Amino acid sequence: MPDAPVLGAGRSSIGKKVKLDDGAFGASFRGPLVHQSVRAEQAARRRGTAATKTRAMVSGGGAKPWRQKGTGRARAGSSRSPIWTGGGVAFGPQPRSYTFKVNRKEQRAALRSALSLHAERRSLAILDVGAFEAPKTRQAFDLLDDWAQSGPTLVVLAPEESAAALSFRNLTRVAVLSAADVGVTDLLAAASLLVSEAALAELTARVAHQSARRGAEEAKA
């Protein structure tokens, strides 16, 4: 079963480790699913607002520039033609959505792969948020410096852990997210991962196997 060290202030956290859920942090890396999930997340972040005007949208061009015959010039029906300067754009971009669907099971499998990769590389640690009773950026900097992991670092916290979030948010190459907002792209972009115990429980629940959930429901029944 994989484990992760606990980082915090005081001697109580020295040498302390937390056992990680084997189903969430002990999975094999599934490259195709991870690639598909990253593409889906990045596509969903695209605004898709690029737009151009067609010849029907630009102003002017109501009158024929010159008569059809007798001038020696090529025929022209409108000055708003795409081949004219100031004319409309042919086959230009229009507002659209780039999102595409990824099945829920595939999303969970990809998230398990990303979490398990951090557990395998020993780039995952558990944050003792009790050490942050008030926002202290210097304390957060010293904690990461003692951990001695390469950046960038992703800090995952629960919504109620605002003091710790304020402590880490201004540090260079450190991103702070809630457990509900963490995606596969965020995990892969981070060289190290720091998670609070509350956020760890939420992440574990997000990637839990269906069989484990059914077993828990049957046990309660």
Rounded mean pLDDT for each run of 10 residues along the chain, 221 residues in total: 80 72 92 96 95 94 93 95 95 95 94 95 92 91 92 93 94 95 96 95 83 49 51
Q: What is the pLDDT of residue 119?
A: 94
The CATH number of the domain covering residues in 3-30+100-220: 3.40.1370.10
Q: Name the DSSP class of 195.
A: E
Q: Rounded distance, CA 221 to CA 211, Å?
A: 15
Say what the pTM is.
0.79
Q: What is the pLDDT of residue 105?
A: 94
- With contact defined as beta carbons under 8 Å apart, do 172 and 180 qualify? no
Q: What is the pLDDT of residue 11?
A: 47
Is the peptide bond preceding residue 152 cis, with omega within 30 degrees of 0?
Answer: yes
Q: What is the pLDDT of residue 9?
A: 60
What is the Cβ-side half-sphere exposure of residue 101, based on CA atoms within 13 angstroms?
3
* Closest listed residue to residue 7, CA positions, set 119, 125, 90, 121: 125
